[in-house]
């Protein structure tokens, strides 16, 4: 009898311990933090830096810009919890939100949508301003409209910046030096986009035997060539520039494209970090 009771007691202990071990543990609340300083949001993860840059790049001394930036971050769940530094000094805004592993992907999608909308607005505004300028120029030429000299100066400044940006884009390909380049072209895509294309004929160095080649070697060549490209995003103004490198092999007088590689730079979208 005593032996049976001892056995029953042992079973109860095991069952009780198992019951305790199966009690659900309340997950510990986790937070992730964001520090914004003078409009630049920097993470140790460069991909995040690139994603969040468009929403914070305008933060400076202007309250309206700061509010717009905080609205953008707030829509993604970031809450301002502290301001470090004195007014007029190096202030840092500390924000936080509850940590959710799945948020990284949804953030990128949400930010990309906001940037697509912003770029569309910029494109529409640029076209509207161009049409208005053309209309005013016609009126001024016939002396049927008053001339605002401040507006004339402003238009001249805008036109100068636009011309310099397009000129800069046209010269981007010159940073690539190679005896294998067979053409350099710049084409206007749509809205704000320009594509700088460099074509390489790699027959001499990469065609083996009659018609054999290794794509991995050609891809490596294009990657190293693309690394030569230097772009100052601020000089792009509101425009986007895509550098496209194409590799060709010639067989029996016919040229075949065997690989291509491209990279896009934008003053609005890119912080230009790797």
Residues 98 and 186 both lie in one domain = no
Domain with 220 in it: 170-266
For residue 48, CA distances in Å to 26, 51, 135 come to 30, 5, 44
Is the confidence at residue 64, as pLDDT, over 60? no
Statement to judge: residues 95 and 176 lie in one domain: no
- Residue range 51-76: average pLDDT? 62
Q: Confidence band (pLDDT; 50, 70, 90) for 147?
A: low
Instruction: Tell me the per-residue pLDDT of 230-256, one tens digit each, with 9 for 90 and over.
Output: 888 888 877 889 999 999 999 988 999
The answer to the question of residue 6 being in a domain is no
pLDDT value for 5:
38
180 confidence band (pLDDT: 50, 70, 90)? very high
pLDDT, tens digit (0-9, with 9 covering 90-100), for 89-122 = 567 888 888 888 777 677 777 777 777 777 777 7
98 and 177 part of one domain: no
Q: What is the pLDDT of residues 151-179, one digit of tens each?
A: 666 666 767 777 888 889 989 888 888 89
Per-residue pLDDT tens digits for 10-57: 333 333 344 444 555 666 778 888 887 654 444 555 556 556 655 554
**Residue 29: what pLDDT?**
79
Q: Classify the phi-psi angles of 180: left when phi > 0, otherwise alpha if psi is within -120 to 50, otherwise beta.
A: alpha
The reported pLDDT for the residue numbered 92 is 80
Tell me which of 106, 135, 160 is where a domain ends: 106
Q: pTM surpassing 0.85?
A: no
From the number of C-beta atoms within 10 Å of its C-beta (0-12, 13-18, 19+), residue 239 rates as buried
For residue 22, being part of any structural domain is answered with no
Domain boundary among 53, 80, 106: 106
User: Does residue 123 fall inside a structural domain?
Assistant: no
Number of folded domains that form the chain = 2
146 belongs to a structural domain: no
Please tell me whether residue 192 adopts helix, strand or coil conformation: coil
The secondary element (H helix, E strand) that includes residue 216 is helix 215-227
| Domain end position, chosen among 106, 129, 150 | 106
Q: 216 or 126: whose pLDDT is higher? A: 216
24: left (phi over 0), alpha (psi -120 to 50) or beta: beta
């Amino acid at each position: 009898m005593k032996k049976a009771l001892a056995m029953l007691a042992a079973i109860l202990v095991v069952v009780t311990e198992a019951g305790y071990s199966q009690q659900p543990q309340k997950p510990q609340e986790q937070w992730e933090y964001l520090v914004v300083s003078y409009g630049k949001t920097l993470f140790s993860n460069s991909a995040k830096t690139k994603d969040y840059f468009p929403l914070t790049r305008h933060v400076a001394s202007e309250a309206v810009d700061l509010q717009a930036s905080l609205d953008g971050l707030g829509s993604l769940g970031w809450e301002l919890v502290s301001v470090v530094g004195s007014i007029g000094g190096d202030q840092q805004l500390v924000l936080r939100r509850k940590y959710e592993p799945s948020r990284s992907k949804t953030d990128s999608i949400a930010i990309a949508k906001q940037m697509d909308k912003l770029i569309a607005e910029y494109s529409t505004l640029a076209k509207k301003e161009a049409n208005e300028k053309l209309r005013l120029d016609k009126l001024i030429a016939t002396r049927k409209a008053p001339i605002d000299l401040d507006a004339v100066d402003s238009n001249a400044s805008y036109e100068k910046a636009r011309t310099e940006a397009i000129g800069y884009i046209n010269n981007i390909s010159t940073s690539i030096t190679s005896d294998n380049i067979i053409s350099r072209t710049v084409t206007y895509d749509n809205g704000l986009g320009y594509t700088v294309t460099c074509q390489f004929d790699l027959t001499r160095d990469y065609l083996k035997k009659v018609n054999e080649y290794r794509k991995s070697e050609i891809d490596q060549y294009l990657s190293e060539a693309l690394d030569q490209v230097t772009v100052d995003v601020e000089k792009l103004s509101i425009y986007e520039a895509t550098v496209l490198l194409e590799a060709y092999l010639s067989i029996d007088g016919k040229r075949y494209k065997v690989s291509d590689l491209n990279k896009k730079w934008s003053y609005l979208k890119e912080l230009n970090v790797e």
